[in-house]
Amino acid sequence: MQYRTLARTAVSAIGLGAMPLSIEHRPDEKRAIATVHAALDAGVTLIDTADSYHWHAGETGHNELLVARALAAYGGDTSRVLVATKGGRGRPGDGSWTVSAAPAQLKKAAEASAKRLGVDAIGLYQLHKPDPAVPWAESVGALRELLDAGTIRAAGVSNVTTDQILQAHRILGDGLVSVQNQYSPAVRDSEPELRLSERLGLAFLPWSPLGGISRSSLDGPSGPTSIGTAFHRLAAERDVSPQQIVLAWLLARSPAMIPVPGASRPASISDSARATELRLNARELTELETLLPD
């Protein structure tokens, strides 16, 4: 396992995106916990969750509680595991997502997340999405207050622009450690945010990192997926999964990159974790870049 820096500590270069364990089409709890344990067995020390990762109404925090139970039930050492959670979004139970990042609500949500995770302070708390009804500085200011109060140890922002990152950095200073935007072979709109994260010394956690290769967990069992891409062809040459090729490509794109692929089966995260052992040469990286969509 390779390691990269996040929240001033070393974490596995591949994390576990725990969302598929709690949303639509989620596995039963036995398989969900086995998936978290498989990640830990593979050397994964970063788990990405959020209070809004649930399916039905009234289930706020389902994924956080599940992660906490899985860690408590694990037979090995979990002291180096960083659980990163998020606040500022909701799910009313009809499949939709809402945004609510008013300062009072964020602070209340963070306190509830800490209680569900069973920690005195959250290792990394990320603002899930800017709220168009709330000035950005006010939402980020709530993170500053949470840092000062010791409710969270480090802060991050998600689904943001370069201007929003810069403003958050001015408000949070060294307390800001991460940016989590969508980034994958199919979606590379956040290239400017990735490069700014590099310059500021922030970790960049791409969500939906396998886009264009694997369907998102939100797509459901019948959702679209791709075949026959350059990633698939190189995977066949290397005798590894296309997902490993994508994750290795992401890791090669920036030292700030820490992908958190979702998984709902032990085999999936075990395979993803092995991407840190894969080194793509210059020819392979050039071929993949040339054949990517504009």
Catalytic residues: 53
Task: Please state, in angstroms and rounded to a whole number, the distance separating the CA atoms of residues 35 and 37.
Answer: 5
Judged by DSSP in three states, 123 sits in: coil
Count other Cβ atoms within 10 Å, centred on residue 74: 16
Task: Please state, in angstroms and rounded to a whole number, the distance separating the CA atoms of residues 121 and 152.
Answer: 5
Q: Which two tokens stand for residue 81?
A: 């595991």
Which amino acid, one-letter code, is at 191? E
Task: Please state, in angstroms and rounded to a whole number, the distance separating the CA atoms of residues 73 and 221.
Answer: 29
Closest-CA residue to 54 (of 96, 22, 29, 27): 22
SS3 content of the chain, % helix, strand, coil (to 5): 45, 15, 40
For 76-90, b/e burial (b = at least 16 CB within 10 A) is eeeeebbbbbbbbbb
Which amino acid, one-letter code, is at 172? L
Residues in contact with 242: Cβ distance below 8 Å, sequence separation at least 6, in sequence order: 213, 214, 229, 231, 232, 235
Task: Please state, in angstroms and rounded to a whole number, the distance separating the CA atoms of residues 203 and 180.
Answer: 8
CB contact at 8 A, 21 and 36:
yes
